[in-house]
């Protein structure tokens, strides 16, 4: 198992790439799935809002609220 870090903005980009494959009417599914632990991700999938579907990205079990896109550095296990 490897441990690396990722910026909050980069993680959000990866989650947005996953969400781009979802359809607002639920008729299609993303071809890949990013499995995460320790985060709460909320998506708002509507027609035409690709790139803006991740509405909430929070760390669970910490005192900090949310993940700052620019400054949060998160540990990633591989």
pLDDT one-digit tens code per residue, 12-64: 898 998 888 888 888 887 777 777 777 888 889 998 898 999 888 877 766 55
Nearest to 15 by CA among 47, 39, 60: 39
More confident: 70 or 60: 60
pLDDT at 65: 57
Nearest to 66 by CA among 48, 40, 44: 40
Cα Dmax for the chain: 39
Region 64-70 average pLDDT: 55
Predicted TM-score (pTM) of the model is: 0.70
State how beta strands 39-43 and 3-7 pair.
unpaired
């Amino acid at each position: 198992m490897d441990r690396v870090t990722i910026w909050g903005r980069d993680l959000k980009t990866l989650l947005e790439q996953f969400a781009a494959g979802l359809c607002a009417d639920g008729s299609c599914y993303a071809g890949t799935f990013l499995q995460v632990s320790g985060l709460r991700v909320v998506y708002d999938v509507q027609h035409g809002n690709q790139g803006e579907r991740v509405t909430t990205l929070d760390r669970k079990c910490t005192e900090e609220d949310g993940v700052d896109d620019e400054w949060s550095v998160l540990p990633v296990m591989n």
